[in-house]
Chain A
Amino acid sequence: MARAVSNRRKALVTICAWAVGIAIFFPILWTVLTSFKTEAEAIASPPSFLFFDWTLENYSTVQERSDYFRHFSNSVIISFGSTLLGLLIAIPAAWSMAFVPGKRTKDVLMWMLSTKMLPPVGVLIPIYLLFRDTGLLDTRVGLVMVLTLINLPIIVWMLFTYFREIPGEILEAARMDGAELWSEIIYVLTPMAVPGIASTLLLNIILSWNEAFWTLNLTAVDAAPLTAFIASYSSPEGLFYAKLSAASTMAIAPILIIGWFSQKQLVRGLTFGAVK
Chain B
Amino acid sequence: MAFHTRALLSACAMAALCASASAETITIATVNNGDMIRMQGLTKDFTDKNPDIEVKWLTMEENVLRQRVTTDVATKGGQFDVMTIGTYEVPIWGKQGWLVSLNDLPESYDVDDLLPAIRGGLTVDGELYAAPFYGESSMVMYRTDLMEKAGLEMPEAPTWDFIVKAAKAMTDKENEIYGICLRGKAGWGENMAFLTAMSNSFGARWFDMDWNPQFNTPEWKETLTTYLDVMNEAGPPGASSNGFNENLALFQTGKCGMWIDATVAASFVTNPKDSQVADKVGFALAPDNGLGKRSNWLWAWTLAIPAGTQKEAAAKKFIDWATSKEYLELVAAEEGWANVPPGTRTSLYENPEYQKVPFAKMTLDSINSADPNNPTVEPVPYVGVQFVAIPEFQGMATVTGQVFSAALAGSMDADAALAAAQAATEREMKKAGYIK
Name A residues whose Cβ lies closer than 8 Å to a Cβ of B. Answer: 39-40, 43-45, 65-66, 124-125, 128-129, 132, 137-138, 216-217, 220-221, 224, 228, 231-239
Q: With a CB–CB cut-off of 8 A, which chain B residues contact A137?
A: 77, 79
B32 CB-CB contact with A under 8 Å: yes
Neighbour of B244 across the interface among A128, A138, A233, A237, CB < 8 A = A237
Contact with A along B65-81 (1 / 0, CB 8 A): 00110011011111110
A66 to B57, CA, bound (A): 10
Neighbour of A39 across the interface among B33, B57, B61, B274, CB < 8 A = B274
Residue of A nearest to B245 (CB): A239
Q: Are A236 and B62 in contact (CB under 8 A)?
A: yes
Q: Within residues 212 to 248 of chain B, which ones have a CB less than 8 A from any CB in chain A?
A: 243-245, 248
Neighbour of B268 across the interface among A132, A221, A224, A238, CB < 8 A = A238
A230 to B3, CA, bound (A): 36
Q: With a CB–CB cut-off of 8 A, which chain A residues contact B74?
A: 125
Q: Are B262 and A132 in contact (CB under 8 A)?
A: no
Total number of A-B contacts with CB less than 8 angstroms? 89
Q: With a CB–CB cut-off of 8 A, which chain B residues contact A132?
A: 75-78
Q: With a CB–CB cut-off of 8 A, which chain B residues contact A124?
A: 71
Known contacts A216-B68, A220-B80, A221-B56: A232-B75 contact under CB 8 Å: no
A to B CB contacts below 8 Å, 19 in the list: A39-B273, A39-B274, A40-B274, A44-B253, A65-B40, A125-B74, A128-B71, A128-B75, A138-B79, A232-B32, A232-B59, A233-B32, A235-B33, A235-B245, A236-B61, A236-B244, A237-B264, A238-B245, A239-B249
Residue of B nearest to A126 (CB): B75
Known contacts A65-B37, A129-B75, A132-B75: A231-B60 contact under CB 8 Å: yes
A226 to B78, CA, bound (A): 23
Known contacts A220-B27, A221-B57: A239-B79 contact under CB 8 Å: no
A66 to B58, CA, bound (A): 10
Q: Are A45 and B253 in contact (CB under 8 A)?
A: yes
Closest 3 CB pairs of A and B: A43-B249, A220-B79, A234-B61
Most chain A beta-carbon neighbours within 10 Å: one of B62, B75, B273, B276: B75
Q: With a CB–CB cut-off of 8 A, which chain B residues contact A224?
A: 58
A165 to B98, CA, bound (A): 57
Q: With a CB–CB cut-off of 8 A, which chain B residues contact A45?
A: 249, 253
A237 to B33, CA, bound (A): 7
B64 CB-CB contact with A under 8 Å: yes
Q: With a CB–CB cut-off of 8 A, which chain A residues contact B77?
A: 128, 132, 137
B106 CB-CB contact with A under 8 Å: no
Neighbour of A239 across the interface among B29, B68, B248, B264, CB < 8 A = B248
A25 to B264, CA, bound (A): 36
Known contacts A44-B253, A128-B77, A220-B27: A238-B60 contact under CB 8 Å: no
A124 to B72, CA, bound (A): 11
Q: With a CB–CB cut-off of 8 A, which chain A residues contact B37?
A: 65
Q: Are A237 and B79 in contact (CB under 8 A)?
A: no
Contact with A along B377-413 (1 / 0, CB 8 A): 0000000000000000000000000000000000000
Q: Are B61 and A235 in contact (CB under 8 A)?
A: yes
Known contacts A220-B79, A232-B59, A237-B244: A40-B273 contact under CB 8 Å: yes
Most chain A beta-carbon neighbours within 10 Å: one of B27, B34, B245: B245
Q: Are B268 and A239 in contact (CB under 8 A)?
A: yes
Known contacts A43-B249, A128-B71: A232-B61 contact under CB 8 Å: yes
Q: With a CB–CB cut-off of 8 A, which chain A residues contact B56?
A: 221
A5 to chain B, nearest CB (A): 45
Known contacts A43-B252, A221-B27, A238-B33: A231-B274 contact under CB 8 Å: no
Q: Are B71 and A217 in contact (CB under 8 A)?
A: yes
A124 to B77, CA, bound (A): 13
A235 to chain B, nearest CB (A): 6
Q: Are B243 and A236 in contact (CB under 8 A)?
A: yes
Residue of B nearest to A230 (CB): B61
Q: With a CB–CB cut-off of 8 A, which chain A residues contact B61?
A: 231-236
Residue of B nearest to A213 (CB): B67
Q: Are A236 and B60 in contact (CB under 8 A)?
A: no
A126 to chain B, nearest CB (A): 10
B96 CB-CB contact with A under 8 Å: no
A233 to B268, CA, bound (A): 17
A244 to chain B, nearest CB (A): 9
A30 to B57, CA, bound (A): 31
B5 CB-CB contact with A under 8 Å: no
Residue of A nearest to B252 (CB): A43
Most chain B beta-carbon neighbours within 10 Å: one of A129, A228, A237: A237
Q: Within residues 20 to 36 of chain B, which ones have a CB less than 8 A from any CB in chain A?
A: 27, 29, 32-34
